[in-house]
Structure 1
Amino acid sequence: MTLLDLQDLHVAIPTERGLLRAVRGVDLRLAAGETLCLVGESGCGKSLTAMTLMGLGPKTAQTRSGRFTLLGQEMAGRGRAAWKTLRGRGLSMIFQDPMTSLNPTLTVGRQLTEGVIHTEGLTRRAAEARAIALLERVGIARAGQRLGQYPHQFSGGQRQRLMIAMALMSEPKFLIADEPTTALDVTIQAQILSLLAGLQRDLGLGLLLITHDLGVVAAIADRVAVMYAGRIVEEGSASRIFRRPAHPYTAGLMAAIPVPGRTPRGTPLPAIPGRVPGLIEPIAGCAFCERCARGETLCAARPPSDVALPDGRVECHFPAVEIVQ
């Protein structure tokens, strides 16, 4: 079952300097039971894409798309009210920072249960029973007693587990996780990733995981979509992208990862030169061309077309030829 079929999503935000074209023609597909990681450096449009999928983008944003099918419903051109029946009933999201996403003045029990009481008409007792079961599933001990506590009484890792439980309260089919491990130490991060992978497998969720951490991607992804300057520049299986990236930007990201046992301690890691282009003025050609070692005159003059790969696609005039079919 296809949970998401998105084609040609554009999101532009008015600013004092002009229209910021933050998302410029994004295509994404996600099937039930699949984990798709959306990766790229900060500011490339990952979180804005996720918020748009949730119907929670900025009110001033100008949004348009081609096909936009979400959980079997066509969403292109529909207003915010259309998402109300999906959020909490099939579509859910884990936000970046649990401390700012959780209300410090309300008990966690209130925050976990109020959504399903409103959308599903559950009694408070039934909602609390579901909350206790989920808290136990995500590893919160003494769950029944802790419903009456407040967010500050939980550790950082526990607050992230609370956010996962809250996202699962509505029994969604499609879960978006936006940088769910950014503020956590390595040990807790590994626990949260293992928890997400287990829940995704057991519940058959479609999981869209947004991150700039390629270590997270390697641990959990089935497929990877690489985003740069508001566009998906490469998409394919996680195994192939880590072994043989086709786009020069993807290759640059992979080259910057230290390899245990092969990268000598203290060796400077490769960096991608230059800066991300501004997105207020239209970009005539490839947005990456000024930073690219393969760049030629053609790259600056004409936008690259999609090149089909055995497991996906790449948007480049001169992709890595060894994997192009």
Structure 2
Amino acid sequence: MMETVLDIRDLRVSIPTDHGLLHAVRGVDLSVRAGQTLCLVGESGCGKSLTAMALMGLLPRHAQTGAARFALLGQDYAGQPPQARAALRRRGLSMIFQDPMTALNPTLTIGRQLTEAVMYLDGLSRAAATARAVEMLGRVGIAQPALRLGQYPHQFSGGQRQRLMIAMALMGQPRLLIADEPTTALDVTIQAQILGLLAELQRDLGLAILLITHDLGVVAAVAQEVAVMYAGRIVEHGPATAIFDRPDHPYTRGLMAAIPVPGRTARGSDLPAIPGSVPGLIGPQSGCAFRARCAHAVAACDSDPVPLVSTAPGRRAECHRLAAGAIG
């Protein structure tokens, strides 16, 4: 059994607004092992990126967050002071952000941006930090890395900037790499190169990867495990192949049905769509958040706590109708 790098239980994030408390992440459980890629999927606004920001300690100051367990490399830092949590994150977590154009500082050289954090946090000399930066740039496929340390972000292409972000994330030698929509702004060819690079780094370094995306094509290509998120909750979790072959939760089934299938989906035909819209999450929440959009909803879905159902070994979903055996 591979080492569990990250284990979180009942993660919650709430944000005060003018209209009340927004319950953006509502009791999320996630576990990622060394060498494993877990994909967190769901439509925009479901809480994926806020979950990542909570893991990294990057939430706005006014956000309210907590967890029953928040363990990194076997050490639980739920409830510990911010300084202790920050020290533990430096030991094991790093993140690739969605848009390298905004994540990279256009006024600083790449070398400065790669080295300043490890010089400050790890106490490396400038020479040692530079040597590590050259190594990481070479590892992510940047040619002439020593020369390019003196260049600025605008002198790199979009795909190269994403490689720079990966190199920057690896500078601290993390055990878990969080990749938040790392291929969104890239064309298909460059997207495949970046995904291939992440897989190669995972094999070489034994990284655990938490990949956040709404692109099910990316999920099918790289994931071993999938967690499907809806309205701040994980509604289904299990092995990627099993979820793609036979999704259990009605929301997951709706997502899968919307994917065109070569040879079966007629060119120009309308794809199935999930009716309705995501519910508001301001104020007290009860029942199943998907009930207004679900063809299987019953009265219990309106108010009763949603049961967690084990549908197969290693698989679980939150659904009243699955618990009753009414969805096959």
TM over 0.5, shorter chain = yes
Q: Distance in 2 between matches of 1:141 and 1:218?
A: 30
Q: Which amino acid aligns with 1:206?
A: A
Greater CA deviation, 113-122 or 97-106? 113-122
What's the CA shift for 1:4? 1.3
What's the CA shift for 1:264? 1.3
What's the CA shift for 1:196? 0.5
**Cα distance per residue 1:35-93 (max 9 Å; x no partner):** 10000011100110111011111111111221221222222123332233134432111
Q: Which amino acid aligns with 1:307?
A: V
Q: For 2:320, which of 311, 317, 322 is the aligned residue?
A: 317
- Asked if structure 1 preserves the Cα contact closer than 8 Å seen for 2:321 and 2:327, the reply is no
Aligned to 1:144: 146
Q: Is residue 268 of structure 2 the alignment partner of residue 261 of structure 1?
A: no
What's the CA shift for 1:211? 0.6
Aligned to 2:55: 53
**Cα distance per residue 1:14-33 (max 9 Å; x no partner):** 00000000011111111111
Q: Distance in 2 between matches of 1:322 and 1:114?
A: 57
TM-score for both structures, normalised by structure 1: 0.96
The DSSP-based 3-state class of the residue aligned with 1:114 is helix
Q: Distance in 1 between matches of 2:90 and 2:104?
A: 16
Q: Is residue 256 of structure 2 the alignment partner of residue 289 of structure 1?
A: no
Greater CA deviation, 82-91 or 119-128? 82-91
Q: Distance in 1 between matches of 2:4 and 2:326?
A: 31
Q: Which amino acid aligns with 2:321?
A: F
Aligned to 1:76: 78
Q: Which amino acid aligns with 1:82?
A: A
**Cα distance per residue 1:298-318 (max 9 Å; x no partner):** 211313210013222100112
Q: 1:23 to 1:151 in 2, by over 3 A?
A: same
Matches within 5 A, 1:1-325: 1-309=3-311, 310-319=313-322
What's the CA shift for 1:2? 1.2
The DSSP-based 3-state class of the residue aligned with 1:93 is strand
**Cα distance per residue 1:231-258 (max 9 Å; x no partner):** 0000000000001000000000001111
Q: Distance in 2 between matches of 1:243 and 1:148?
A: 49
Q: Distance in 1 between matches of 2:253 and 2:58?
A: 32
Q: Distance in 1 between matches of 2:139 and 2:209?
A: 18
| Consecutive unaligned residues in structure 1, runs of 5 or more | none
What's the CA shift for 1:105? 0.7
What's the CA shift for 1:284? 2.0
Q: Distance in 1 between matches of 2:153 and 2:251?
A: 40
What's the CA shift for 1:119? 1.8
**Cα distance per residue 1:120-178 (max 9 Å; x no partner):** 22221221111111111111111111000000111110000000000001111111111
**Cα distance per residue 1:249-308 (max 9 Å; x no partner):** 000000111112221111111000001110013232110011001111121131321001
- Asked if structure 2 preserves the Cα contact closer than 8 Å seen for 1:38 and 1:226, the reply is yes
The DSSP-based 3-state class of the residue aligned with 1:258 is coil
The DSSP-based 3-state class of the residue aligned with 2:317 is strand
- Asked if structure 2 preserves the Cα contact closer than 8 Å seen for 1:306 and 1:316, the reply is yes
What's the CA shift for 1:322? 9.9
Q: Distance in 2 between matches of 1:106 and 1:132?
A: 17
| Consecutive unaligned residues in structure 2, runs of 5 or more | none
What's the CA shift for 1:323? 9.4
- Asked if structure 1 preserves the Cα contact closer than 8 Å seen for 2:72 and 2:92, the reply is no
Q: Distance in 2 between matches of 1:292 and 1:206?
A: 34
The DSSP-based 3-state class of the residue aligned with 1:60 is coil
Q: Distance in 1 between matches of 2:327 and 2:184?
A: 33
Q: Distance in 1 between matches of 2:327 and 2:305?
A: 21
TM-score for both structures, normalised by structure 2: 0.95
Equivalenced residue count is 324
What's the CA shift for 1:115? 1.2
Q: Distance in 2 between matches of 1:157 and 1:20?
A: 36
- Asked if structure 2 preserves the Cα contact closer than 8 Å seen for 1:54 and 1:83, the reply is no
The DSSP-based 3-state class of the residue aligned with 1:126 is helix
